[in-house]
Amino acid sequence: MVSATSPVEALRLAIRNVPDFPKKGIVFRDITTLWKDPRHLRSAVELLSGPFRSSGIAKVACIEARGFILGGAIAQALGAGFVPIRKRGKLPSETLRQEYALEYGMDSIEIHRDAIAPGDRVLVHDDLLATGGTARAACRLVESLGGTVVGVCFLVELSFLGGRGQLKGYDVTSLIDYDAE
């Protein structure tokens, strides 16, 4: 007898685990193996966009770089616009910058000043939720332009790193949770 696999479990099984990358003791969750299968790619987009279909999303703001891959498809599925959030100096027009803390130091991300209109309902997307600093900075950028963050969604969450704690007050959706390294 063949057992049925849930759509989320099928996605989890499609992710390759790469031990000791980028350094010893880390298990890297390689989602490129999921993306290469059109069934899994379609399923991931449907599962991530589904909870937000009736939310009136005007824009999907996606964090560089892997967030762009599913983010564009999620925006398409929701009939919404796509907004890139990039590292400092990568956007060609006038930007707004938000700094956030790293383990050792600071970093920043930017959004075009005209990317979000006041009152826009925005879904923030990235491929992975780790410590939550980048996602929180992205939410702050959207809000500083007058947008409303309706939700924040991720394909993968590393819950043992506590990233949801950085996103209190936001509707956070993740499909696949790795609760221990």
Mean pLDDT of the region 96-121: 94
The whole-number pLDDT of residue 1 equals 47
> pTM of the full predicted structure?
0.94
In tens, the pLDDT along 9-55 reads 999 999 999 999 999 998 999 999 999 999 999 999 999 999 999 99
Domains of the chain, each with CATH number or no CATH: 53-177 (3.40.50.2020)
Residues annotated catalytic, as ranges: 66, 103
Q: Three-state SS across the chain?
A: CCCCCCHHHHHHHHCEEEECCCCCCCEEEECHHHHCCHHHHHHHHHHHHHHHCCCCCCEEEEECCHHHHHHHHHHHHHCCEEEEEEECCCCCCCEEEEEEEECCEEEEEEEECCCCCCCCEEEEEEEEECCCHHHHHHHHHHHHCCCEEEEEEEEEECHHHCHHHHHCCCCEEEEEECCCC
